[in-house]
Structure 1
Amino acid sequence: MQDDFYWINTPRVWHKTPDGLSVVTDGNTDFWQTTWYGFERFSGHGFVRDVTGDFTFQVRIQANFSALYDQAGILLVADKQHWLKAGIEFNDGAPAIGSVLTHGQSDWATGIFPGDAGDFWLRLSRKGDALRLQYSTDGQEWPLLRLCPFAHTQCAVGVMCCTPEREGLEVRFTDITLTPLLEKDLHDLS
């Protein structure tokens, strides 16, 4: 992992590992803007690096999600009002795959995760002003999770984890890569 990553809301407990990053979440941490709940939160932990232009960012995430809203995954941030987070989030008694896109207000799209939610991969590609978000249960096959606009050219990309209802979620991020855009057909799952 390169040294140009930096923290948005540094957790009390974290360290780089030979193959990535290990984090233990602080309590009452989250990224959310107003929708449904009315609150504004930008207290989640994000380990990011600045990016411009087209790219593909990929990571493997391992965690034991067990409390309401435990979450970990990918984060793309332009500013406090414009960002995307995606990954596993524990809700309705089970871990689910989902994403939140925020343009002033947050949306939330979530669904059943078809694999082991304690060990999964995410891939985010930016092409022009569009984002392609994919997930994987095995690091080999990459179904589409979300396709959406994101017109901010200057932003930061990396990993995130949050625990709005508790503290102490242990998360491992490995296989972290930032590369030029993987030019693949939208329905190419490789």
Structure 2
Amino acid sequence: MFDACEWLNAPRRWSLTEKGLQVTTDAKSDFWQKTYYGFARDSGHFFGLARTGGFTAQMRIRARYDQLYDQAGLMVRMDENHWLKAGIEFSDGVACLGSVLTLGQSDWATGPYAGDPSDLYLRVTVDAGWLRLQYSADGHHWPLMRLSPFPVAETYRVGPMCCTPEREGLEVLFSDFTVTAPSGKDLHDLT
């Protein structure tokens, strides 16, 4: 799937290998829009695949987070004012599982992650005006992370995202990236 993706804000150092997409973040990279702090940033690294209509996307993210706001995960994007980013973000000395939904303005939902943050799976389903976000420690059990309305669009972009607002040099490996038709699973089906 990575071979069909295109960069928004390509990092200086990245490569596609048999292991997956390897990225090293640039300094001052971030995605936020009119947040609590009032600023807008659209400089994060996003490797997006164009998708028409609804879909389910899944991927594995491996990184070592140790600086404030180090983050990596996935993004679903329509434009700079309509997107979701989700994954691990380092905040207050702890690796947190979180998501930011931006519909003109960004929110932030986060909390400490009890699992191993250096190896995480994420899954997102976008279909019929709704977004369902799930996470997994093993790629088999998928608890719900977020369920929210999300704009219907003719085309979305979905794929890996990473940022380091306070530094450069976070090394991330993205792998096992798949995009299919919407899964259609029941909300409480965690498979």
TM-score of the two chains, using structure 1 as the length reference: 0.98
- Distance 1:4-1:119 versus aligned 2 partners, 3 A rule: same
Report if the CA contact (8 A) 1:19-1:175 is conserved: no
Q: Which residue of 2 aligns with 1:120?
A: 120
Q: Which residue of 2 aligns with 1:186?
A: 187
Report if the CA contact (8 A) 2:128-2:152 is conserved: no
Q: Which residue of 1 aligns with 2:23?
A: 23
Report if the CA contact (8 A) 2:53-2:156 is conserved: no
Deviation at 1:85, TM superposition (A): 0.2
Q: How does 1:1-190 map to 2 (within 5 A)?
A: 1-153=1-153, 154-190=155-191
Report if the CA contact (8 A) 1:57-1:179 is conserved: yes
1:113-151 alpha-carbon deviations (Å, 9 max, x no partner): 121000010000112110100000111100000001111
Greater Cα offset, 129-138 or 151-160: 151-160
1:130-186 alpha-carbon deviations (Å, 9 max, x no partner): 010000011110000000111131221111000000000000001011111112110
Count matched residues. 190
Greater Cα offset, 149-158 or 169-178: 149-158
Q: Secondary structure at the match of 1:69?
A: coil
Report if the CA contact (8 A) 1:114-1:137 is conserved: no
Task: Provide the rounded CA distance (Å) in 2 between the counterparts of 1:94 and 1:63.
Answer: 14
Deviation at 1:2, TM superposition (A): 4.6
Q: Secondary structure at the match of 2:140?
A: coil
1:22-63 alpha-carbon deviations (Å, 9 max, x no partner): 000000000001211111000000000111212110000000
C-alpha RMSD of the superposition: 0.9
* Regions of 4+ moved over 4 Å: none
Task: Provide the rounded CA distance (Å) in 1 between the counterparts of 2:61 and 2:89.
Answer: 12
Report if the CA contact (8 A) 2:29-2:163 is conserved: yes
Task: Provide the rounded CA distance (Å) in 2 between the counterparts of 1:159 and 1:13.
Answer: 15
Task: Provide the rounded CA distance (Å) in 2 between the counterparts of 1:98 and 1:48.
Answer: 20
Q: Secondary structure at the match of 1:105?
A: coil
5+ residue gaps, structure 1, are: none
5+ residue gaps, structure 2, are: none
Task: Provide the rounded CA distance (Å) in 1 between the counterparts of 2:19 and 2:34.
Answer: 36
Letter in 1 for 2:138: D
* Identity over aligned pairs, percent: 57
TM-score of the two chains, using structure 2 as the length reference: 0.97
